[in-house]
Amino acid sequence: MASRNTIVAHVEDRPGVLARVASLFRRRGFNIESLTVGHCEEPGLSRMTIVVDGDDHQVDQVCRQLFKLIDVVSVQDITYAPMVDRELALIKVSASNFNRREVLDMVEMFRADVVDVDADALIVQVLGDEGKVDAAVKMFEQFGILEMVRTGRVAMVRGTETTKPPAISDSQQAAAAIRAMLGRRPEGALPFASD
């Protein structure tokens, strides 16, 4: 039972949509670990990757409540799907003539990049899944981290399967697609069966 869950939502690209999502999370007491939003393959839609804490039941509620927002076109919980997930971190590491070599070795080890150089500091860009970024941050701490920023997680299901929302045309079809997406938890299509 994962406590960190990855949800992908497609939302109409309209003013206020982020506030609606945020308001929902606040009101229902859901815990957002991270939320990233940006463009996707379809103009007019934005794609959110939301990482939430909670058990299966809570995550299912998050998905169902999210879907009720009119501007939310689709919601999928991909926690249990095979997926690629990435985060990016920019880490400003203090680095002088005395230790720059060591810092650069560490950069090498994490297959990270140096994106800015100064006499007393470097900005290191780390790209990877959460675990890798965590590890990198930990290792750079020994040199002294002056500043750090991490994006939230972005994620995509592997293979040909997509999280793309159903097309608009047929409401019945859309309803069916949405229902199939909701509750896609290990128990199968009927969530919360008590036996």
Partner 1 sequence: MRLTGARILMECLRAEGVEVFFGYPGGVVLPLYNTLGEYPDIKHVLVRHEQAAAHAADGYARVAGRTGVCLATSGPGATNLVTGITTAYMDSVPMVVLTGNVARDLIGRDGFQEADITGITLPITKHNYLLMRASEIAPAVKEAFHIASTGRKGPVLVDIPKDVFIEEAEWDGYPQGVSLRGYPIMDVPREEEVARAAETINAAKRPIVIAGHGVVQSEAQHELVEFAERSDTPVLTTLLGISGMPEDHELSYGFLGMHGHFYANMAADRADVVIGIGMRFDDRAMGRFSDFNPTAKIVHIDIDPAEIGKNFKTHAPVNGDVKETLSRLLPQIDRNSHPEWRSEIDEIMAQHPTDYIEEGTGLGGPWLVRALAEATNGEATIVTGVGQHQMWGAQYYPYTKARQWVTSGGLGTMGYEVPAAMGAQFAQQEPIWSICGDGGFQMTSQELQTVAEHNLPVRFAIFNNGFLGMVRQWQELFYANNYHSVDLGQPDFVKLAEAYGIRGVRATTRAEAMQVFRDLEGYDGPVVIDFQLEREENVWPMVPAGAALSETIESAEDL
Site residues (vs partner 1, CB under 8 A): 11-12, 16, 19-20, 23-24, 27, 57, 60-61, 64-65, 67-74, 165, 168, 171-172, 174-176, 178-179, 182, 189-195
Task: Write the CA distances from 30 to 22, 52, 63, 162, 182, integer angstroms.
Answer: 10, 7, 11, 26, 17
Closest CB to partner 1 among 119 and 190?
190
Closest CB to partner 1 among 149 and 189?
189
Cβ distance 80 to 186 under 8 Å?
Answer: yes
User: Which residues on adjacent β-strands are paired with residue 84?
Assistant: 156
Q: Compute the least distance from the CB of residue 46 to partner 1, in Å.
A: 12
Helices (H) and strands (E) in the chain, counts: 5, 9
Closest CB to partner 1 among 44 and 131?
44
Q: Compute the least distance from the CB of residue 102 to partner 1, in Å.
A: 50
CA dist., res. 171 & res. 37, Å (int): 26
Q: Compute the least distance from the CB of residue 10 to partner 1, in Å.
A: 8
Q: Compute the least distance from the CB of residue 27 to partner 1, in Å.
A: 5
Residue ranges with strand state E in the chain: 4-12, 31-39, 45-53, 72-77, 83-94, 113-117, 121-128, 145-150, 154-157
Closest CB to partner 1 among 23 and 96?
23
CA dist., res. 186 & res. 195, Å (int): 14
Token pair listed for 176: 């069916």
Closest CB to partner 1 among 145 and 174?
174
Closest CB to partner 1 among 109 and 189?
189
